[in-house]
Amino acid sequence: MIDVKQALAKIKAKIPKPSMQVVPLKDALGSVLALDVRAPLALPVFDNSAMDGFVLRSKDLLKASQRNKIRLKIVGDICAGDTKERKIKSGEAYRIMTGALIPAGGDTILIKENALVDAGYLVLDAPVQANQHIRRKGEELKRGERVLRKGTLIHPGTMGFMATLGLNRVKVFARPRVSVIATGSELVVPGKALKRGQIYESNSWMVRAALQDMNITPVEVKTVKDNLKTLRQTLKHVLQKSDVVILMGGVSVGEYDYVKTVLEELKVRKIFWRVKQKPGKPVYFGKLKQTLIFGLPGNPASVFTCFYKYVYPALRCMSGFPVAELENQAVTAEQDIGSDAKRTLLLKGKVYTVSGQRRVSALRHQGSHMLSSLCETNAFVVLPPKSRSIRRGDKVQVDLLPFGRTD
């Protein structure tokens, strides 16, 4: 049996190179840029007013004072979006709105709040400095400048930035096509009544949500009974259209655990089965052509743990993220935590911040069949086999999950 580190290394070695795709900007949220982006235009696009007020020629006001008030004729309004070419002559001013083009000759803005208007004239009793409240063309960036690097995540800020550059299509790494199959004859979809011996199917909900959280819409989500024929048919079907297949349940040593049998029949190459860890020991990983196949033990806490520990980094890597694994940190333990002689413990934990110090507490209900603690989990407490038992106040390693604030 291999350990957690070896399992991660084996997965990493089998991940196919991400492919590229051009997508409409609106569909690019959560994707990663596959190419550097250069600015197709300068920003700001043109000299424009940063305030509502009046645009002037500062030269006209050099001699303005309390005793020598200067009157400028207000010759019109310039609104945001006005395209007309204008020129200010000596002795004139325009009323101007935020975002409107600066007319030729205008070199400064007097903000509306500071302006005295009298019978169509602006009255000034002091000079106005040049270059006030004007956003200059290209002051943020020049046309042709590299503004985003390959490997950048497209998040709401990036989205707005690319839109302001006028980009409506972007080259990103393709999102992996993922299928999810839950196995188990005892499973019932939430909303239906349970019969004797049945439970609600929760794993596919959890994994579908985890994928959605990564902006991946699974191509198939299915629940199948523990039946060789249906499992074979379903797998055959999804293998053809998936880059990653996530199977849940049926991968252990039970008489009706058919997953490994069917994968073997379909010529999936087993890379590993079973990892020295708790929970999730019977986790399986294989590959068929370019498709990765994960078999996660069906207990919900095992699915959760194995998903974030193994599937999540694989999907991040395939999506083109430069960093794929969960962020690891040493934080202060809130209680004593015992380790295990043989296996890495991956305990559900909650990391939080007290007076600037990050602490973690291992949550109650660690049983791999228990889900209530998942509502609070935002980290795994990682205890390698035979590691020194942790005392309250000691530092302990945690893997931070991609969701759940720690403050």
Distance of CA 14 to CAs 190, 290, 292, 293, 380, Å? 36, 9, 8, 11, 25
Binds 199, which of Mg ion, ligand AMP, none (CB < 5 to 8 A, cut-off by type)? ligand AMP
297 near ligand AMP, judged by CB under 6 A: yes
Binds 297, which of Mg ion, ligand AMP, none (CB < 5 to 8 A, cut-off by type)? ligand AMP
For residue 162, give the H/E element and its range: helix 156-164
In the complex, what is the shortest distance from the CB of residue 204 to ligand AMP, in angstroms, rounded to a whole number?
6
| Given 279, 298, 320, 349, the residue binding ligand AMP (CB under 6 A) | 298
29 token code pair: 């949220």
218 near Mg ion, judged by CB under 5 A: no
The residue of the chain with the least Cβ separation from ligand AMP equals 298
Beta strand pairing call for 291-296 and 269-273: unpaired
241 token code pair: 């259209």
- Which residues within the stretch 233-262 sit at the binding site for ligand AMP (CB under 6 A)? 248-250, 252, 254
Nearer to Mg ion, 119 or 253 (CB): 253
133 token code pair: 């409240």
48 token code pair: 């424009």
320 near Mg ion, judged by CB under 5 A: no
CA distance 399 to 401: 6
295 near ligand AMP, judged by CB under 6 A: no
- Which residues within the stretch 300-319 sit at the binding site for ligand AMP (CB under 6 A)? 300
Q: Which stretch binds Mg ion (CB under 5 A): 100-108, 242-250, 327-335, 348-356?
A: 242-250
Q: For 326, which DSSP code?
A: P
Binds 248, which of ligand AMP, Mg ion, none (CB < 5 to 8 A, cut-off by type)? ligand AMP
Per-residue x/- marks for ligand AMP, 159-198, CB under 6 A?
-----------------------x-x-xx-----------
Nearer to ligand AMP, 106 or 249 (CB): 249
199 near ligand AMP, judged by CB under 6 A: yes
| Given 299, 305, 319, 361, the residue binding ligand AMP (CB under 6 A) | 299
Contact 225, 184 (CB under 8 A): yes
For residue 156, give the H/E element and its range: helix 156-164
Contact 318, 337 (CB under 8 A): no
H helices of 15-67, in order, are none
CA distance 246 to 293: 6
Nearer to ligand AMP, 299 or 305 (CB): 299
Q: Which residues contact 50 (CB under 8 A, 6 or more apart)?
A: 98, 109, 133, 134, 135
Q: Which three-class secondary structure state does DSSP give residue 117?
A: strand
297 near Mg ion, judged by CB under 5 A: no
Q: Which three-class secondary structure state does DSSP give residue 102?
A: coil
Nearer to Mg ion, 231 or 360 (CB): 231
202 near ligand AMP, judged by CB under 6 A: yes
Nearer to ligand AMP, 103 or 298 (CB): 298
Nearer to ligand AMP, 34 or 206 (CB): 206
Q: From the centroid of its chain, how far is CA 368?
A: 28
Distance of CA 216 to CAs 21, 29, 72, 178, 190, Å? 15, 10, 60, 8, 23
Within 13 Å of residue 193, how many CA atoms lie on the same side as its CB?
2
CA neighbor of 59 nearest in space, from 89, 35, 83, 29: 89
160 φ, ψ (degrees, to nearest 5): -65, -40
In the complex, what is the shortest distance from the CB of residue 297 to ligand AMP, in angstroms, rounded to a whole number?
5
Binds 164, which of Mg ion, ligand AMP, none (CB < 5 to 8 A, cut-off by type)? none
Nearer to Mg ion, 250 or 295 (CB): 250
Nearer to Mg ion, 67 or 195 (CB): 195
Q: Which stretch binds Mg ion (CB under 5 A): 37-45, 296-304, 348-356, 395-403?
A: 296-304
249 near Mg ion, judged by CB under 5 A: yes
Question: Backbone dihedral region of 118: left (phi > 0), alpha (psi from -120 to 50 degrees) or beta?
Answer: beta
In the complex, what is the shortest distance from the CB of residue 249 to ligand AMP, in angstroms, rounded to a whole number?
3
184 near Mg ion, judged by CB under 5 A: yes
Q: How many residues bind ligand AMP (CB under 6 A)?
A: 19
264 token code pair: 């073997």
Q: How many helices (H) and strands (E) would you count in the chain?
A: 7, 26
Contacting residues toward Mg ion, per CB under 5 A = 184, 249-250, 298
Contacting residues toward ligand AMP, per CB under 6 A = 182, 184, 186-187, 199, 201-204, 248-250, 252, 254, 297-300, 369
